[in-house]
Amino acid sequence: MDWKKITIAAGVGALAGYIISDQITRRQHVSPEKALKIAKEAFKQQGPVSGSWIYMKPEQLVKNGLDYSVYRGGVTRTVDGVNTQYEFYVDAATGTIIDVAATEASS
């Protein structure tokens, strides 16, 4: 066999493998655990988080006329001695926080 052909074939195979791997990685969703971590880090910038949760299955959300596949979750923070709960939506494809709303307050 000709070493030149083997080297070229190996190079083409490696390049094809890299391209396929890159395409697969781009199509994967952010894991729910990572989405929760992103949201908690954002809330921690404003103060400590005392509790959190997230639904493990993505759901559909229409916001400003756009459809998103999102993870829905929540965090609890103590603000001025009052527990405040927030619900958030994180884009499952990018990890971007799309919406946040305070849900209730309790003492």
User: Domain extents for the chain?
Assistant: 1-28, 31-106
12 or 27: which carries more pLDDT confidence? 12
Does residue 97 carry a pLDDT above 70? yes
Per-residue pLDDT tens over the stretch 34-49: 999 999 999 999 888 9
The span from the CA of 82 to the CA of 70, in Å, is 29
Band of residue 101 on the pLDDT scale cut at 50, 70, 90? very high
Asked whether the predicted pLDDT for residue 86 surpasses 70, the reply is yes
The topology (CATH level 3) of 31-106 is: Nuclear Transport Factor 2; Chain: A, (3.10.450)
Residues 26 and 29: their CA atoms lie apart, in Å, by 8
* DSSP code at position 47: S
Q: Give the separation between CA 43 and CA 27, rounded to whole angstroms.
A: 27
Total-model pTM: 0.70
